[in-house]
Structure 1
Amino acid sequence: MSASAKINVPTPSDIRARKGGTPLVCLTAYATPTAQMMDTYCDIVLVGDSVGMVVHGLPDTLGVTMEMMELHGAAVKRGLTQAMMVVDMPFGSYEESPEQAFRNAARLMRVTGAAAVKLEGGVAMADTIRFLTSRSIPVMAHVGLTPQAINTLGGYKVQGRGEDRARVVADAKAVEAAGAFSVVLEKVPESLSDEITETLSIPTIGIGASAGCDGQILVVDDMLGLFTAFKPKFAKRYATLGRDGEVAIAQYAKDVRNRSFPAPEHVFADEVTTK
């Protein structure tokens, strides 16, 4: 077999077929080097609108623009050869009408090379999802806590408790019926996540949901400890790169000020010496 044989990157149909199988591994990415790090290990890499908070310092995701998603999406794509890339549709780019959603989804896929888009909302977005999927735009849905709706949800609260349970179930069923190939469940109680996972024929991808979901996703800056402004309960930190980086920068500053950096091995002589 040729060493340059094409790698079969998963398609939305492949992801859908993974329902009930080995859990899907998903992470967010916003830049080429990070995408390269996770390419071998992830089934799905999401260019999330969380980029607004973890990279651009915004207070929430509402200020993220199409241009930002295009820039970061194209950068992530350059780092991937094996994982499927999905790009978030930012706030205001799809809610007005299915036609608006199609124009912007097609633009994101064309500019970034994404295999699919992700948008937030359940019953209210079902017609839009149906419009997109019937026009060759694969959609990953997102229900439960939808960060773009924090002003109407009253903050980053758990969704689906008590009487609210039926609403989240209805949202999940609606996006499935509309043609989404998978659905993210965010900050949904464990028992409800398990119920939805058992009910739906498409994969559920949990974030603050249940180990029983068909896959899991985390914000990479949370799990690597790069984003330290706050730590969500659902985010396990697998490293402390933010703190390690701060320690390294402090040592660099000390070395510069005491003139121990650059050392002789870091500078250049007037002439090249030969042995």
Structure 2
Amino acid sequence: MRIQSDINYPQLRIKKTLTTNKKNQKMKITTSVLVLIFSIAFSSKSFSQIDVNITDIDNNKTIPFSKIYETYDLDKSLPTLVITWSAEWCYPCIRLINRYNDCDLSMLNVITINIDAENYLEDALNEGHQKNWDNMLNFHANIGEDEKGFDKVFNVTSAPLILILDNGDISDATVSYSLYPYKLLEAGRIRDVNFIWDSSQDLNSLAWSFYNSENDPGRLAEALKWIDRSIELDQEYSNTDTYAALLFKTGEYTKALKAAKDAIEIAKNTNEDYESTTDLINKIIEKL
């Protein structure tokens, strides 16, 4: 994938200061909160000062990038994510946007910008991914069009570029496939878990994060509610194993043993590795 660790833009220079973490073998995200802080050349430069154009995919209307809030009457008090994507070479971008599409976007403004070059743009849009993103604003980026082309400011060979805006100013930016919705809760940018209430993956990841980082019984009880909801939406090996681990940590050893055995049965049916669950069962048996 076309990702760089450090990205230097002609007018907007961004430097990553924290590294991303990796999923473990059970597709769980480790507990590190990816708070990616960037230093921006022009320290006083705000979103409103970025002089590039973008075109609305729905009505083909071109507007200044800086006029999105006024043009679409967006609530500036909400956090805003700008996510770039490409159907030509960045399907992880599309999967990331789909994760956000499953969230309660009354709590977050999401703006997507397609960055396929002109000779790929028609095919990219004909694939229709953006038609599913009906709670988002969807644009293409006028790549190479003129001095106000999106690529004159941003390095479009790296995606997904994610800009995080607070009250209309860029506060953070990253190139990351894994800035998943639950991480906005971990970072305190969104405080209501209902934001991810319909996302089984994000509820599982948040619950697993709490399993690794929390010892407070009240907080662990909240995590159990999240994993119950995750399983209700879509039971699979990963969230069933998380459920077993949380029951173990809260002292519910008999229930934890049953859940761990259930997780292993699911893993066998889906050909997933369940060694860590076997280790968990051994720990549970020691406590019984």
**TM-score using structure 1 length:** 0.31
**TM-score using structure 2 length:** 0.30
